[in-house]
């Protein structure tokens, strides 16, 4: 056994989901040395009894990954495909599911991105000398970056503005709405991230954000899930 000071450092991956299940998955990794994939064995995802899924989701054990290029820096990870082996019958019956890469902007690699609709695992390092890692393999043809726009955040095509009646209450404030888009640019969630504290204006802004027309986010030349921050201000003093 290696002494702790000489122990190799492996990235670790942990899967999460809103409810308990068991899955097998292929995880894709985009690094500064190229693309890799690693096959995860069947992993059980479980949550504490009575846990709130939005705050404490079901999680798997962590799995250590060894990259062929020891100096590679992982820039992004995602589940490329997965099979539910235990869970709701319709999940099991669905068989192998191909997943979307996450919205990713190489110019802003540390930016907070879409809040996990596609179950993106993120690696954390471990230096446990007793760990036997799974070995990743090169996958040079996994994803493309040779198209005209390989990466793009979700963008607005046609902006809708909040509609407020002339008798609207006096006051001022800014409403911030977090929009989540699917790969067709359909709005699948519109959450109030910051209230204007002007009665009725948050709802008006939320409706405008939902009616606005967007382009999908693009990752590795493919449309994918995206996030857009919609802001509107009201001033009536």
Q: Are residues 115 and 158 in the same domain?
A: no
Tens digit of each residue's pLDDT (9 = 90 or more) over 169-212: 667 889 999 998 988 999 988 999 999 888 888 999 999 999 99
Per-residue HEC secondary structure of the chain comes to: CCCHHHCCCEEEECCEECCCEEEEEEEEEEECCEEEEEEEEEEEEECCCCCCCCCCCEECCCEEEECCCCCCCEEEEEEEEEEEEECCHHHHHCCEEECCCCCCCCCCCCCCCCCCCCCCCCCEEECCCCCCCEECEECCCCCCCCCCCCEECCEEEECCCCCCCCCCCCEEEEEEEEEEECCCCCEEEEEEEECCCCCCHHHHHHHHHHHCEEECEEECCEEECEEEEEEEEEEEC
Listed residues 138, 163, 179: the one ending a domain? 138
In this structure, is residue 46 part of a structural domain? yes
Domain coverage including residue 180: 151-236
2-6, 142-146, 148-152, 200-204: least confident range: 2-6
In this structure, is residue 146 part of a structural domain? no
In this structure, is residue 143 part of a structural domain? no
205-209, 219-223, 228-232: least confident range: 219-223
Q: Are residues 92 and 130 in the same domain?
A: yes
**CATH number, domain with residue 198:** 3.30.2420.10
Q: Are residues 37 and 109 in the same domain?
A: yes
Domain count, the chain: 2
In this structure, is residue 224 part of a structural domain? yes
Residue 112: the pLDDT is 42
Q: Are residues 38 and 79 in the same domain?
A: yes
Tokens of 66: 């060894």
Residue 198: the pLDDT is 85
Q: Are residues 155 and 131 in the same domain?
A: no
In this structure, is residue 156 part of a structural domain? yes
Confidence of residue 109 (pLDDT cuts 50, 70, 90): very low
Residue 118: the pLDDT is 42
Q: How many other CB atoms sit within 10 Å of the CB of residue 219?
A: 29
8-22, 137-151, 207-221: least confident range: 137-151
What is the average pLDDT score of the chain? 79
Tens digit of each residue's pLDDT (9 = 90 or more) over 75-100: 778 888 888 898 888 888 888 887 77
Listed residues 116, 138, 160: the one ending a domain? 138
Listed residues 138, 160, 188: the one ending a domain? 138
């Amino acid at each position: 056994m290696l002494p702790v000071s000489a122990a190799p450092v492996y990235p670790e991956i942990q899967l999460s989901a809103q409810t308990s299940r068991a899955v097998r998955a292929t995880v894709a990794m985009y690094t500064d040395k190229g693309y890799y994939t690693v096959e995860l064995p069947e992993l059980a995802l479980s949550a504490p009894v009575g846990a709130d899924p939005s705050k404490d989701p079901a999680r798997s054990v962590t799995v250590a990954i060894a990259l062929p290029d020891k100096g590679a820096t992982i820039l992004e990870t995602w589940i490329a495909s997965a099979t539910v082996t235990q869970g709701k019958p319709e999940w099991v019956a669905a068989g192998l599911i191909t997943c979307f890469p996450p919205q990713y902007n190489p110019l802003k690699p540390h930016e907070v991105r879409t809040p996990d609709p596609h179950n993106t695992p993120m690696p954390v390092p471990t230096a446990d000398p007793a760990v036997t890692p799974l070995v990743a393999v090169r996958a040079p043809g996994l994803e493309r970056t040779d198209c005209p726009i390989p990466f793009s955040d979700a963008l607005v095509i046609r902006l809708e503005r909040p509609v407020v009646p002339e008798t609207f209450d006096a006051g001022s404030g800014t409403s911030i709405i977090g929009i989540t888009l699917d790969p067709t640019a359909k709005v699948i969630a519109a959450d109030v991230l910051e209230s204007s504290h002007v009665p009725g204006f948050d709802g008006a802004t939320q409706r405008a954000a939902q009616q606005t027309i967007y382009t999908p986010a693009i990752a590795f030349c493919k449309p994918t899930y995206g996030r857009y921050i919609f802001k509107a201000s009201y001033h009536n003093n």
